[in-house]
Amino acid sequence: MLAITKCNRGKHAATLSLLCAVLLTAPASLGDVLADARLLLRVSNTAEHFETRTQSQIRNILRTYASIVAMESDVELPAGIRSTIAACYTREYAWENFRGGFAEIIAEHLSPQQIQLLIGFYRNRGLPPSQIDTFKATIAKAELIEAISADYIFSSSPGCVHRDAQLISSFIDSQSLPSLLGTSLE
């Protein structure tokens, strides 16, 4: 009887070892990959870079609008209109609007191993020599991920251009009206 019990313990231990091995080597679930992708976005400081780039783009847009208005109408775009335009872009292109989609894009286009490698890289853990080829393959996907992310931003945001055009046109029209009223029709 004792021999049977020892045999059963051995089977239980073997079964448990096999189960652990399967669980540890099984592909990561989509939830795990998404969680890792969100972690990668955090450790790579992507939100700060995104916000900095957004603010730079807003300044460029405002400069372009102001230049066009000055050249075409010989008037300066008022600070109130510039603020309204900037507020629209800040709201529509806020990091929070895109964070989840970016994580999904990363999870879809990078393997769990590649995501973990990048997390380690951004946490200054170095790059093991055996992972150099994986790192190169990961970096090679950057351009594709950037293009897909840009498409995602474009398709996910209503944008501000139409509203900007209405604001600027209304302003220019309001500036033209007083000069027309001051003209003598005699």
What tens digit of pLDDT does each residue of 164-173 get? Answer: 999 999 999 8
Query: What pTM value is reported for the model?
Result: 0.74
Model confidence over 87-132: pLDDT tens digits?
999 999 999 999 999 999 999 999 999 999 999 999 988 888 999 9
Q: What local confidence, expressed as pLDDT, does residue 176 receive?
A: 72
Task: State yes or no: pLDDT of 158 exceeds 80.
Answer: yes
- Angle (CA) 96 29 116, round 5°: 70
The first and second tokens of residue 86, run together, are 């900037």
pLDDT reported for residue 178: 54
Beta strand ranges found along the chain (DSSP E): none
- Is the pLDDT confidence value at 163 over 60? yes
pLDDT in tens, 44-56: 999 999 999 999 9
pLDDT in tens, 27-72: 455 579 999 999 999 999 999 999 999 999 999 999 999 999 999 8
Give me the residue label for tokens 């730079």.
56
C-beta atoms surrounding 91 within 10 Å: 11
Q: What is the DSSP string of 103-142?
A: HHHHHHHS-HHHHHHHHHHHTT----GGGHHHHHHHHHTH
Which residue in 47, 58, 179 sits closest to 100, CA to CA? 47
pLDDT of residue 24: 40
pLDDT reported for residue 108 = 97
Q: How confident is the model at residue 175 (pLDDT cuts 50, 70, 90)?
A: confident
Two tokens, residue 49 = 């870079």
- Residue 126 has a pLDDT of 83
Cα distance between residue 95 and residue 49, in whole Å: 10
Length of the chain as a residue count: 186
